[in-house]
Structure 1
């Protein structure tokens, strides 16, 4: 029977988190030689290569499986210590504090900007959070490879080993500045105008605008539209670029409402608004801290989402 040693698993997890053996050693408070020895022993125990040496070090598929296991154990250990009264300590004296549970989760930029940040701030009082920003449908890859233990995502199908809960929906509408609409859509946003008007996307993985353009072309039985495209990879700056007339874009009502009321944004096709589901996916393991975070996000979503 293979006996996985905790110090070896911690070394592997530290390499995954930091990218190099030297940085992993600093994180663990040991020498790089000690990290190398632990990795050699772990690879010998499982009979497989777990890390491809380099800068950065790269996990192999078996290495990703063990990193996921290591993070499971670390989260569960923190929960157990808390139940025993020797876990997270709210004592304001820094010398009296002990390590908090560490939770890495994935949240889209739009969710962070509009509704998800307050419950994360609440959770930061009893857990150490690492929030990774990733587009809606791409977040599950970070769950699958063990980088994150949970995600707010548009994907409903649970990643293997995870469970999923529907939080609600964010409504996105195509919007632009009044001056942009006057210039590019003087007779409405017909196919000819949409083929010429610049469009904004968050990045090349952002498919919301493309879905809208495909829908319009398919409804008319026309060839795909190919307007000029600009990319602005930050949620608030994306909204601001739309306000300034750089292009039109799909914005959630939660983010666009104030600018719409102020007259800085106008919708030009509300009938084709898109509802984007928000699902909470988390590892299927018993973790008090992870369940507590899920409860906080569910409460916030209930108040904010449709």
Structure 2
């Protein structure tokens, strides 16, 4: 299929609708009428001969729409870099949409980003998803890069191994006295409440199935959609949980948390994916993240 010359204001309308998840909010963001936004997307679809937006709840781009949005995000970043080079005294913030898992965001990502944030004018947009799903934000064109557990890169992107996020099964001494006084086994775990992040998080499920032959429904389990709350609920003796070693190290050291089953841990490999044509800022960011994670994430 021969693509027409793109009118980027049409791509901008598609990007706004997907980002805002609403034609009305997209119109306000672009200072247009809702009808004008709709017409721009229809015109782009007419030029390309296929739908670009799947109109449902949530709104999401079609496969071709995903390709176009990824292209648009990269073009915007490159244009901003060029503009900043040509207008040194009037530099504008560069948009940096990233997809990351909650545990990385709560532990190593901000320190890894810190030097860049102090040196550059950056406007971040962080999409927080399970590490197995962050790549979908990148594939859809919403993110320029992602932290993911998937090793294989999307076509047109590069993948770099960052290290392993290690998870330990922990609880407070008070919780252990209440539920595990006679040890951690299938019977005690069937009574003790655990924690999962959301419906996409199967780490707790797989851990109990693999090591204790317990299936979902055979034990109580909280749903807690926050890495920080995971820690707080565990420290409040409300549950036991699989928490990153980075989060629990100091609590294990002072005795406020105990590793329930030292013989078992979960290791999740993390990878950094970024578009190949994403500009100087992304190259700098990628180098910082790869360098930083070598110091805080196990490499073997």
TM-score for the superposition, normalised by structure 1:
0.87
Where in structure 2 are the equivalents of 1:244-283 lying within 5 Å?
Answer: 244-283=236-275
Where in structure 2 are the equivalents of 1:213-292 lying within 5 Å?
Answer: 213-217=208-212, 222=213, 224=215, 226-292=218-284
C-alpha deviation, 1:151, in angstroms? 0.8
Number of the residue aligned with 1:119: 112
Number of the residue aligned with 2:20: 18
Residue by residue over 1:145-178, the C-alpha shift from the partner in whole angstroms, topping out at 9 and shown as x without a partner, is: 1221111112222233321101111221111111
Q: Report if the CA contact (8 A) 1:20-1:56 is conserved.
A: no
Q: SS of the residue aligned with 1:132?
A: strand
Runs of 4+ in 1 over 6 A off after TM superposition: none
Select which of 130, 133, 137 maps to 2:128: 133
Inter-CA distance 286–141: structure 2 relative to 1 (3 Å threshold) = closer
Q: Report if the CA contact (8 A) 1:50-1:60 is conserved.
A: yes
Q: 1:160 and 2:155 equivalent?
A: yes
Select which of 166, 187, 207 maps to 1:171: 166
Where in structure 2 are the equivalents of 1:58-207 lying within 5 Å?
Answer: 58-82=60-84, 84-86=85-87, 97-124=90-117, 125-207=120-202
Inter-CA distance 49–212: structure 2 relative to 1 (3 Å threshold) = closer
Number of the residue aligned with 1:94: none
CA distance in 2: counterparts of 1:235 and 1:52, whole angstroms: 32
CA distance in 1: counterparts of 2:57 and 2:219, whole angstroms: 40
CA distance in 2: counterparts of 1:111 and 1:286, whole angstroms: 22
Segments of structure 2 that go 5 or more residues without pairing to the other structure are none
Segments of structure 1 that go 5 or more residues without pairing to the other structure are 92-96
Higher mean displacement: 7-16 or 45-54: 45-54
Inter-CA distance 274–52: structure 2 relative to 1 (3 Å threshold) = closer
C-alpha deviation, 1:187, in angstroms? 2.4
CA distance in 2: counterparts of 1:22 and 1:174, whole angstroms: 45
Q: Report if the CA contact (8 A) 1:144-1:160 is conserved.
A: no
Residue by residue over 1:75-115, the C-alpha shift from the partner in whole angstroms, topping out at 9 and shown as x without a partner, is: 22223333x333xx5x6xxxxx4432211111111111111
C-alpha deviation, 1:181, in angstroms? 1.1
C-alpha deviation, 1:40, in angstroms? 3.2
Q: SS of the residue aligned with 1:216?
A: helix
C-alpha deviation, 1:223, in angstroms? 6.1
Q: SS of the residue aligned with 1:272?
A: coil
